[in-house]
Amino acid sequence: MLSVAYLGTTYLEDASFETSWNADGNVCALTYSRLDVSGIISAVGDDTAGATAVFIGTTRNSFAGKTVARLEYQAYSKLAIKTMADIMKAACQLVSRSDDQPENQAVPSLIRCAVHHRLGTVPVGEPSIVIAVSSPHRKEAFVACEFLLEEIKSKAQIWKREFYEGEDDRNAEWKSNK
Amino acid sequence: MARAATRSFIKWALSVDRVHDCDHIRHILQAPSNFMAVTHHFEITVLYFAAASTATQKTTEQIRIPDNGLRLSELGNLLISQYPETNLRDVLQSSQWSVDAEMVDDLDSVVLKGGEEVAVICPVSGG
């Protein structure tokens, strides 16, 4: 099994790999590349959209009085991408009809969703997650965007380690969202 | 009628085909040399992430399991016994398990047979 030791963290080159899932224009992706926010937003763009909700999670420079040097993310990619896809399908079910549409009229309330999560080292100030949701109306876009974020934070098999300025990398802390 | 059914049941129970269908009995019947040759079937791959990989200093390893299988609920103690000087016990206490990339809710319901990919799923922290 190939694994690469890097700055005190062992990357799971075999298990924490880049991957993506795509269905009906909805996209989930895990990537070691820097996230292209405007590219992700334009990818959910559509002439039938009246709203695009976007969430950008970035690396904060402090935690409990300590200065954060960088974050490192790893994932069990094979399982995490399935979890993310299931969450995205659930978001489409949850937000299935706009209140602004007549009851009996089948209008998709979400047009396209995209969730991109970065893996590997993320320097302070750079995005680690970008979520974009387009919808005919704002409310569904906001609801779906928040649902995607909260569900992914609590369920997707992705882990973050925080490295602090002036501290041994061995003291770097694996975070927990619970 | 009942006697005929009983006779056919006994015939079925003693049939060679049925014995051959049962892995457990087949392995007992096999000669020791053959037995050794199939031991690689009784290994699982364990993946460690986050705090679990920090504790074990490994990202993956092959673990030998008993040839009659291992209940997933027993794997934790097996691993803890292999890493006595670490905090793996604490890590496992707060973790979940996946088998072949599916989360497992009831650890007692899963018996590992060999060949599975089992992962320790520490509390997640994406986002």
Cα diameter, chain A: 61
Q: Are B105 and B34 in contact (CB under 8 A)?
A: no
Q: Are A30 and A77 in contact (CB under 8 A)?
A: yes
- Predicted local confidence at residue B38, as pLDDT: 43
Check CB contact of A160 with chain B, cutoff 8 Å. yes
Check CB contact of A79 with chain B, cutoff 8 Å. yes
Shortest distance between the Cα of B61 and any Cα of chain A, in A, equals 9
Task: Give the pLDDT confidence of A112-133 residue by residue, as tens digits.
Answer: 999 999 999 999 999 999 999 9
Q: How far apart are the first and last CA of chain A?
A: 31
Please answer yes or no on whether B126 and A153 come within 8 Å at the CB atom.
Answer: yes
Tokens of A29: 């992706």
Q: Are A156 and B50 in contact (CB under 8 A)?
A: no
pLDDT at B35 over 50: no
E-strand spans in B1-123?
A: 43-48, 60-64, 70-71, 96-99, 102-104, 111-112, 117-121
pTM, entire model? 0.81
Please answer yes or no on whether A159 and B125 come within 8 Å at the CB atom.
Answer: yes
Please answer yes or no on whether A157 and B124 come within 8 Å at the CB atom.
Answer: yes
Residues in contact with B120: Cβ distance below 8 Å, sequence separation at least 6, in sequence order: B46, B47, B48, B49, B52, B91, B92, B95, B97
Task: Give the pLDDT confidence of A120-172 residue by residue, as tens digits.
Answer: 999 999 999 999 999 999 999 999 999 999 999 999 999 999 999 999 998 89
Check CB contact of A130 with chain B, cutoff 8 Å. no
For residues A79 and A2, which has the higher predicted lDDT (pLDDT)?
A79
Please answer yes or no on whether A12 and B59 come within 8 Å at the CB atom.
Answer: yes
Q: Which of A1, A129, A159 sits opposite B122 (nearest CB)?
A: A159
E-strand spans in B1-127?
A: 43-48, 60-64, 70-71, 96-99, 102-104, 111-112, 117-121
Q: Are B19 and B25 in contact (CB under 8 A)?
A: yes
For residues A33 and B13, which has the higher predicted lDDT (pLDDT)?
A33
For residues A110 and A98, which has the higher predicted lDDT (pLDDT)?
A110
Q: What are phi and psi of A120, to 5 degrees?
A: 80, -155
Shortest distance between the Cα of B25 and any Cα of chain A, in A, equals 34
Q: Which of B51, B60, B124 sits opposite A177 (nearest CB)?
A: B124
Q: Is A151 helix (H, G, I), strand (E, B) or coil?
A: helix
Structural domains of chain B, with CATH: 2-39 (no CATH), 42-121 (3.10.20.30)
Please answer yes or no on whether B124 and A155 come within 8 Å at the CB atom.
Answer: yes
